[in-house]
Amino acid sequence: MSVIPKKHPPGPPLRAIVLGAGRPDILAEAERLSGDIARHVQIVKTDFTGNEDLSVVDADLAIVLGGDGSILRAARQMGNRQLPVIAVNLGKLGFLANISKSELPTTLSDYQAGLLNIAEHLMFECSLIRDGEVRLKQLGLNEVAVLAGTSFSLININLYVDSELATTYSCDGLIISTPVGSTAHCLSAGGPILRQTMQAFVILPISPHTLTNRPVVDTADHVYEIETPNPNSGASAVADGRLFSQLQPGDRVRVEQSSARFKLITGHGHGYYRTLREKLGWGGQIKFNK
């Protein structure tokens, strides 16, 4: 099931948060774009540290400058209060950051006028369960990966779906990915590409010992648990590219859909297959933004 895009209704000037990585090039570009942004919205907050709690900021939208890494960080900072996001690509591929610098003024104007869609994307909540208790929780957008660690030997991973044992993998790791994350680590590991608005998870073993262990796509209304009975010394769980927790024997990592939804404002002409065609170089070379 896909989510029907919504439009922002026209109204008074919008209040915006401006976000991005703290790299010198991003900061310089933010300074250069500040005039264009201020002509269309009221800037109520800026953060280039990635450390601010944005869930408490009273704003109407977030403008994220950078690449998909900046978007993942912004989604985590916004927590359960996700604002619509205009993502300006200052990085390389940028599957989510699909608005160019030159398109930003028009995008802001069109969004203010209620002419653009807001696509809502599945987010996940992952929990670390140790000794029967939830020890950690984290909201994410791309994927959770359990990795074997630096001993460079296979790890045995039990996968439970709604508390029922689905299978045991002997592999280098296991990825549970959202549709948004299907073009990230999941794609690099040989997984399928899912339309970003689908409500589903990809379950993907990394280099499984049994060649019949293939990727599985299942609906998002299930609860997935990854158990590591005897993890390697360096085994860990990683959420959206950041260490979630080192793993101990018997730990379970639970992955389930969150009530929060990531909200991406899409500009004119930025269709799904156009993005795949241009970003993945279908029929030609991969194109990096300049």
DSSP 241: T
What is each CA distance from 157 to 168, 205, 228, in whole angstroms?
Answer: 5, 9, 5
- Select from 268, 279, 272 the least CA-distant residue to 111: 268
DSSP 10: P
Q: Are 230 and 66 in contact (CB under 8 A)?
A: no
Which spans in the chain are helix H?
24-38, 68-78, 104-112, 185-188, 272-279
Tell me whether residue 89 is exposed, middle or buried, using C-beta atoms within 10 angstroms of its C-beta: 0 to 12, 13 to 18, 19 or more: buried
- Active site (catalytic) residues: 68
